[in-house]
Structure 1
Amino acid sequence: MAQQAVRELVLPDPEIRTNPDETYAQLVRVPTWMWLDRVMWKPVSETAKVPGVSVTATAIPRSATWRMGDGTTVMCKGAGTAYSVKYAAESESPDCGHTYARSSAGQPEEAFTISVTVTWDVEWHGGGEQGTVPGLQTQAQMSLRVAEAQALVVS
């Protein structure tokens, strides 16, 4: 029954958010903020029933692993903090960010492919028993263009 309840869980796909927004180029040496839509970062439950017995499985998001396309991996404990204007433009994310050291020039479509993998732990109980199923995962990816700005000082 526990396996059936786990199989019936419908985990939401992560929705990647960045600042600057993915429609704009990120800049080398300027912090990029990453976060996931908070709507998906919550427990998901499903109950399997047969006459006289029911088992409930609850999946809890535990971490997000970001592959930034430049060979860097960033581990975040939660969904990340959404950027807002209350933060200085040059500030780093307090919990989930990355600063590119090179541009995406020369990459396919001149962009890095970034991906995020959300790891969910499942706790189940019912029929007088309980247990855990670690490590269910959901994933998403997107392209992110990273540009390099150069300044010219003239006197």
Structure 2
Amino acid sequence: MPTVTSTRMRVQIAILLALPLALVPTMAQAGSKTGDGASLGDAKGGRKGQNITVQTKVRTTVDGASHTAKTGSLSSADGNWTPPACWYEPAFSPKEIQATVKAWRGFDISLLDGIGDFIGDALDTRYKDGHPYKNYNLDKQGEGMFWAAAVNPNRKDDPEANSCDKPPFWVDEGEPPKEPLAVSPQVLAEYAYDELPVPDTEIEMAPTDKSTVNLPTWIWLDKAKFKKRSVTASLPGTGLSATTTAEPVSLHIEPGTADAQTYPSSGECAINADGSIGEPYAKGKADQTPPCGVSYLRATGDDGPFPLRATVTWKISWTSTNGQGGDLPDGTFGTTQDVTVREIQSVNR
């Protein structure tokens, strides 16, 4: 039968794994700053409490201007690729790691007296006693940083957000970290992908109120609305920066019923030389075939209007301050609007 002491020790170890390592700094020293890295108040426990995560310091601008909101988010056309859910970035100076560990001292939880000292001892083993760091690397103050995990705020609920599960580790100034998930120009470019503000895919249609069986409905998009958009992501103090650009290339039409004919037959309307998609309807073109549009072969009934979905595909590329760059998977963004179709064989427009 286990003793009370052994049971208490197992509980303490479980708490060590379950509590955020930075819980006390968050409560007791929120917003304080002891060096040139992250605010201690920004540090918090990882998803499973086994690691420190910090609020990312990556900043973004849209077409050169700061932004706080966007209309829509792109979905990757490649089902096997998504922007990164987490990465490692410079976060703590030696003094900040020291303060984080010391903040545990004297912190107790009901029924678990001494848990603060117990966790502090465990952290001292890593950051003070030479396993693998000695005296919090205070002798290297200003010569590097402890890097910590940061979670993409757009993907904090993704399972992949748990991938950055290493405790803070030291990186010398000017040395690239030996860590595949460390922040880099490509990571910044992929994060910027998540921040691209794309406009709602609200198509222009003629007729605007109701379509007619066997008569084409013209569809087009305004060139002024669908133009290139760029987001630049940078990490202050590192010189790392990347710009990701989205350029609209086509519009895909899904009529919402199999009883329809799209124009072109593929339903894929290419972008025109002037940046527009399709062609606005003009009087006298009622019987012509539109370059982009749809003809419904039956009227809507008691089951309601047809859900016509229009999806724009955006070509994505990136460049960076160090000369790296390339393409990222195409992005898509679409909206659905209801179309009512009537049983009239002829109509004046």
TM-score range, shorter chain: 0.7 to 0.9
Cα distance in 2, alignment partners of residues 13 and 150 from structure 1:
33
AA paired with 1:136?
G
Contact 1:14 1:37 in 2 (8 A): no
1:39 deviates by: 2.9
Cα distance in 1, alignment partners of residues 296 and 288 from structure 2:
14
The root-mean-square deviation of aligned C-alpha atoms, in Å, is 1.8
1:32 deviates by: 0.8
Aligned equivalent of 1:121, options 295, 303, 315: 315
- What SS does the aligned partner of 2:190 have? helix
Computing the radius of gyration from Cα coordinates, the structure with the larger value is: 2
- What SS does the aligned partner of 2:193 have? helix
- What SS does the aligned partner of 1:105 have? coil
Within the alignment, does 1:90 sit opposite 2:287 as a pair? yes
User: What's the TM-score, normalizing by structure 1?
Assistant: 0.84
Equivalent residue number for residue 33 of structure 1: 218
AA paired with 1:38?
K
> Can you give the 5+ residue segments of structure 1 that lack an aligned partner in the other structure?
none
Within the alignment, does 1:107 sit opposite 2:303 as a pair? yes
Identity, % of aligned positions = 34
Which of the pair is proportionally richer in helix?
A: 2
Contact 2:230 2:246 in 1 (8 A): yes
1:52 deviates by: 1.8
Cα distance in 2, alignment partners of residues 104 and 150 from structure 1:
14
Aligned equivalent of 1:60, options 243, 247, 255: 247
Cα distance in 2, alignment partners of residues 90 and 96 from structure 1:
14
- What SS does the aligned partner of 1:39 have? coil
Task: Point out 4+ residue stretches in structure 1 off by more than 3 angstroms.
Answer: none
Aligned equivalent of 1:75, options 252, 255, 268: 268
Equivalent residue number for residue 39 of structure 2: none
Cα distance in 1, alignment partners of residues 314 and 231 from structure 2:
14
Cα distance in 2, alignment partners of residues 40 and 83 from structure 1:
18
Cα distance in 1, alignment partners of residues 315 and 303 from structure 2:
35
Cα distance in 2, alignment partners of residues 114 and 42 from structure 1:
23
Count of residues in Structure 1 that have an aligned counterpart in Structure 2: 145
1:131 deviates by: 1.4
> Can you give the 5+ residue segments of structure 2 that lack an aligned partner in the other structure?
1-187, 272-276
- What SS does the aligned partner of 1:40 have? coil
If asked which structure has higher relative contact order (CA below 8 Å, sep 6+), I would say 1
- What SS does the aligned partner of 1:149 have? coil
- What SS does the aligned partner of 1:5 have? helix
Contact 1:28 1:103 in 2 (8 A): yes
